[in-house]
Structure 1
Amino acid sequence: MGLLAAIGFIVIAYFVIQFLLWTLLDCDIELFFASKLGKPISSLRGKVVWITGASSGIGRELAKVLAVHGVKLVLSARNLRELELTKQECLSLSKGGLRAEDVLVIPLDMLKFAFHQDSFNRVISHFRALDILVNNAGRSQRAEWNKIDINVDRELFELDVFSVIHLSRLAVTYFEQNSIKGQLAVTSSTAGLIGAPNSASYTGAKHALHGYFESLRNEKPEINVNIYCPGPTVSNFLQEAFVENPGLKYNQPVQPTDKRMTTERCAYLYAVLLANNKNLCWSGIFPINWIAYIGCYYPNIKKLLLAIVGTRRLAKIRDGRNNPDPSQV
């Protein structure tokens, strides 16, 4: 075999292996190898991690994963009762590794910006430190692009973007004033990588977050920025999602037949990302992982696939629905 033939074989093999991994894995390749060969989650033991949106879904499960490994936690959300239940679960799972004072509950409505500083002060007063802020609170959306009331765009951006930026700026200021190489994590979405149909405001918000935090990463390299983009995950996300009109919710529960990643697996991968300080990672069972790669790195192929698959089918894939009601796509 000549040199050029050998190089050609290696290149072809490389792309074949990549496409196979995109199909077989439930996360991007970098995150997969970090989960197998990178730093263990236990490397975060003793650090103080503040999770917003910790009363349910990914935030709650992430808190539980971290608690198993002795991470000190601050849990925030609006629902105090669910936060207290999450705290008790974390303490139980830690098997004595955490004391009651190692899990601080701070009820917080992210839209009440005036309370952000007081909440931040409580964290520092209690733990004397903050190592990682996980911006997890937020809501999704299901609505037709041209029917969305502009006030829904504003409301969604207030919650999913501006509240996150406001709280994160407090953290960055704290890190700088105390010469701490701090860490900010953001729960984005695969909609932050590829424009998702029937979620224009949500997609725009997630893309905005990527822009804000990419700018921060380039402006202040001493701050570690992690962006995690889950695909369809088992949670109450769809029930709470915005629609086209203000004050209404999508209110569609996850179905047993839905093709979604478990919240536990999603949270585990999130914890791996935090432990290994990864810039940008995503997760999702087939074909989400595959679509994310195509969308990010092969836009011309994405355009062709979209023409073949169609937006209705893409919407079904995005929601993990095998046979959804067409009126809800």
Structure 2
Amino acid sequence: MVQLHVKGVVRSSRQSMDFCATSLLYFGALLYVIVQLARFAFADADFTLLWAVVFGNKPENKLQGKVVWITGASSGIGEELACQLARLGARLILSARREGELERVKRCCLERSNLQEKDILVLPLDLLDRGSHEAKMKSAVQHFGNIDVLINNGGRTQRSLCLDTNVEVYQALMDLNYLGTVSMTKQVLPHMTERGTGVVVTISSVVGMAGVPLATGYSASKHALQGFFNSLRTELTDYPGITISTVLPGPVQSQIVQNAFTEQLGKPVATAGDQQHKMQTSRCVRLILVGIANQIQEMWIAQQPFLLAFYLWQYAPTWAWAFTNFLGRKRVQNFKAGLDADLAYFTKPKPKTS
């Protein structure tokens, strides 16, 4: 009888221990999920990029002394890239159409870094003038001897409804955003393959993954870039020293909206609205530089809820359509009412009164 009692106590003790272990396992899993959801709620980039921010290579160690060619360097993300790269000690080639603005950016870079005059080349360039790109490439190589990184940042966005937009606007968007970028890449890539090393970074957009209203042509040009560079990356498997990297930012503070195409060529945007609700340009650029330093092939950079849209489109497209349609409907409604399209996602701003 005593032996049976002892066996019962032992069995009960084991069951209790098993229950505790199972409970701890479930609690640990639940805690892990809660922590990850909390991290995601405050994240402003994909987890691979955020991991690199904490544990990866630092841009300060990888980009110092590199020759970096930036298109669209006269404002916005391009200007901030130039400034941060200058502080890191990278040598720069600054390209855009507006030479005066490029000179201004160069002066800012020199004032905020230890670079010398010879370390920054102002090279005015029009992405639409593809016949001039070969000569620009030769000038860049003649000045520095090599090009380590090409950052394709030049381009324009769009603010118009498809039903109102002339076909010429779509042609202009593809010529500038897509073919201009392809042309620059094709000029630099043979130089990189000959050396066996180099980085080509292209600033795409969240709309390169998911379409949004008022930007049918812009979205198409970014989708085209995604297809081109994803395919190019697979062609370069024999060149492991060359990295093809695509950056997909969400809304970022810049002048891109002020220069957007509308339904007619030459017609300016009526109002660009306040940009303060968007991600700070400095944070976006810092993340881009971390991605370059760690050879990340695709970077998602956006504040919530736009980061959520990336993951939905990647892993749950049915939910993504519902999410996108909900936001898109509000965006179109506010645009038709003369309100700022970007602010219209989550607020209903009042029209400005004179």
TM-score (norm 1): 0.90
CA distance in 2 between counterparts of 1:56 and 1:134 reads 14
Code of the aligned partner of 2:215:
S
Contact kept in structure 2, 1:232 and 1:320, CA below 8 Å = no
Which residue is 2:167 aligned to?
Answer: 150
CA RMSD of aligned residues (A): 2.4
Pick which of 269-278 and 203-212 moved more. 269-278
**The 10-residue stretch of structure 1 (128-137 or 17-26) with the greater mean CA deviation from structure 2:** 17-26
Moved more, 5-14 or 76-85: 5-14
Question: Which ranges in structure 2 are unaligned for 5 or more consecutive residues?
Answer: 1-17, 335-339
Assess if the C-alpha contact under 8 Å between 2:165 and 2:263 holds in 1: yes
Q: 1:197 aligns with which of 204, 209, 213?
A: 213
- Measure how far apart 1:312 and its partner are: 2.8
Query: 2:227 & 2:316 partners in 1: Cα distance?
Result: 20
Counterpart mapping for 1:177-188 below 5 A: 178-188=194-204
Amino acid at match of 1:196: V
Aligned mate of 2:58, from 37, 40, 51:
40
The answer as to 2:162 corresponding to 1:137 is no
Give the CA deviation at 1:30. 1.4
1:44-123 → structure 2 map (5 Å cutoff) = 44-94=63-113, 96=114, 98-123=115-140
Higher mean C-alpha displacement, 159-168 vs 6-15: 6-15
Greater Cα radius of gyration, structure 1 or 2? 2
Aligned-residue offset at 1:230: 1.2
How many Å separate the matches in 1 of 2:225 and 2:125? 21
How has the CA–CA distance of structure 1 residues 314 and 90 changed in structure 2, closer, same or farther, with 3 Å as cutoff?
same
Who is 2:348 aligned against?
Answer: 323
The residue identity in structure 2 corresponding to 1:283 is I
Contact kept in structure 2, 1:23 and 1:289, CA below 8 Å: no
Alpha carbons of structure 1 residues 154 and 301: separation in structure 2 relative to 1, 3 Å: same
| Code of the aligned partner of 2:146 | A
1:314 Cα deviation after fit: 5.5
* 1:266 paired to 2:284: yes
Distance across 2 between alignment mates of 1:147 and 1:117: 37
Distance of 2:301 and 2:84 partners within structure 1: 17
Deviation at 1:164, TM superposition (A): 0.3
Equivalent pairs counted in the alignment come to 321
Secondary structure of 1:83 counterpart: helix
**Deviation (angstroms), 1:12:** 6.0
Higher relative contact order (CA 8 A, sep 6+): 1
Question: Which residues of 2 match residues 166-245 of structure 1 at below 5 A?
Answer: 166-176=183-193, 178-221=194-237, 222=239, 223-245=242-264
For 1:172 and 1:5, how far apart are their aligned partners in 2? 57
CA distance in 1, matches of 2:167, 2:350: 26
1:290 to 296, 308, 321: 308
1:109-131 deviation digits (Å, cap 9, x = unpaired): 11111110111001100000000
With 143-152 and 233-242 compared, the bigger mean Cα shift is at 143-152
Distance 2:327 2:192 in 1: 46
Kindly indicate whether the alpha-carbon contact (under 8 Å) linking 1:241 and 1:251 is maintained by their aligned counterparts in 2: no
Counterpart of 2:229, as a letter, is F
- CA shift for structure 1 position 139: 0.4
TM-score normalized by the length of structure 2: 0.84
Alignment counterpart, residue 250 of structure 1, candidates 238, 253, 269: 269
Partner residue of 1:27 out of 31, 45, 48: 45
Other structure's SS at 1:165 match: helix
Q: Is 1:127 equivalent to 2:161 in the alignment? A: no
* Contact in 1 for aligned 2:212/2:328 (Cα 8 Å): no
Identity of aligned residues (%): 33
Q: Distance in 2 between matches of 1:135 and 1:7?
A: 48
Shift in alpha-carbon separation, 1:100–1:219, aligned structure 2, 3 A: same
Structure 1, unmatched stretches of 5+, are none
Rate the CA distance shift 1:184–1:150 in 2: closer, same or farther, 3 A. same
